Amino acid sequence: MEYPYQRIIAEFQDRQQNVGLAVAVLSEGCFVFADVFGWADREAEVRATLETPFGIASVTKAFTGAALLKLYEEGRIDLDAEIQRYIPEFPLHPAASVTLRQLAAHLAGIRHWGPERNADLNARHFDDLFDILPLFRDNAFAVVPGTQYLYSSYGYNLLAMAIQRAAGIPFQQYVAQAILHPLQLQKTGFDRPGLAGRERPARYSWYDLTDYHPLDTAPVRVPDWDYSHNMAGGNMAATVGDLARFGRAFRPSGLLSDTSIALLWRRPVLAGIESPMSFGWFLRDDPPRLSISGSNAGLQAGMTVWRDQDLVVVALANSWGIGSQSGEFMDDSPQGLLGKLAAVSRTE
């Protein structure tokens, strides 16, 4: 039964040559395939294993969305409240208000990264979300709130600040309390350089890290950068198995109430503007599925949850592989890695 999965991955690795790669396929609650390939740290000759916690970049947003929905279920946060109810120090936009529901759908007009995301920022560690606020508070808006979809990691960090204020405990602690502990995700958490020692994989890139031109002979090792400035939008790490179990929790009778599940699986339309993203996930059609992917320098992450097949497919790599700009690694269409692995599961 493993052969078709192995063949798909071998063909993919022939093209991308990722240094380390982990894949899991969870069907009807059982792992029909889970395996890992290559090195966690090539120079130190440390093999990647199924216990290796890979960085998951923007897949973190699905955890932030889940935390928001759990707090909403507890009656402790109002999705339609203006953000200033929880963060009065955040500036008002002169033309329109910003709500938590808008932030969750990337409809709040908040900008994405700017020149402040540089080597100096990657060398800093942030323990408190509110230390991130000065990075964007004074020039937070790219467009008028509520007028268009605009993907924003800053928006998700702002959302997490509201979660922290409403919960009365640090955001990281609430995520652990409401999500990680109930789902027994023991190898999932917030990442930082030096975390877990040799267990934390090194990261590699087949692209030059200054001008991003492709490299011909070998990948370069990515500096041990700190992404805590994107704590709620791209700073978590997880094993491939943990991430698959997390994905299955977004089905009925899982982590969330039926009300939250209904919210999550409906594409948001606010004031006539539709968003493709709902509480940290992209909603895809034909067939219905939740999909989320992420990429920081030297890592790729992708996960899809198929609604009607009770199927979750996850792939994680500690590399920007050859040709990875194509997005094939995180693609759940029939042409992508996730899609090909899912197709095998449907025919077995």
- Tens of pLDDT along 124-154? 999 999 999 999 999 999 999 999 999 999 9
The β-bridge relationship of strands 311-317 and 299-306 is: antiparallel
**Cα 229 from Cα 60, distance rounded (Å):** 13
Whole-number percent of the chain with pLDDT over 90: 93
- For residue range 150-171, list pLDDT tens digits in order: 999 999 999 999 999 999 999 9
Give the three-state DSSP class for 260: helix
Mean predicted confidence (pLDDT) in 101-105:
98
Q: Over pLDDT 70: what percentage of the chain?
A: 97
Instruction: Categorize the per-residue pLDDT at 195 as very low, low, confident or very high, splitting at 50, 70 and 90.
Output: low
**Which structural domains are found in the chain, ordered by start?**
3-18+25-347 (3.40.710.10)
First to last CA, the chain: 8
Residue 288 identity (one-letter amino acid): P
Question: Which pLDDT score, from 0 to 100, does residue 348 have?
Answer: 59
**β-pair type (319-320, 204-205):** parallel
The rounded mean pLDDT for the chain is: 95
Higher pLDDT, 117 or 195: 117
Asked whether the predicted pLDDT for residue 197 surpasses 70, the reply is no
What pLDDT is attached to residue 3?
75
| Res 198 pLDDT > 70 | no
- pLDDT at residue 267, as a whole number: 96
Confidence of residue 196 (pLDDT cuts 50, 70, 90): low
Percentages of the chain per state (helix, strand, coil), in multiples of 5: 35, 20, 45
Which tokens go with 10?
Answer: 């071998």
pLDDT tens digits, 28-81:
999 999 999 999 999 999 999 999 999 999 999 999 999 999 999 999 999 999
Q: Compute the Cα dihedral for 270, 150, 204, 224 and give only its sign.
A: negative
User: Average pLDDT in the 174-185 region?
Assistant: 97
Q: What is the pLDDT of residue 1?
A: 46
Amino acid at 228: S
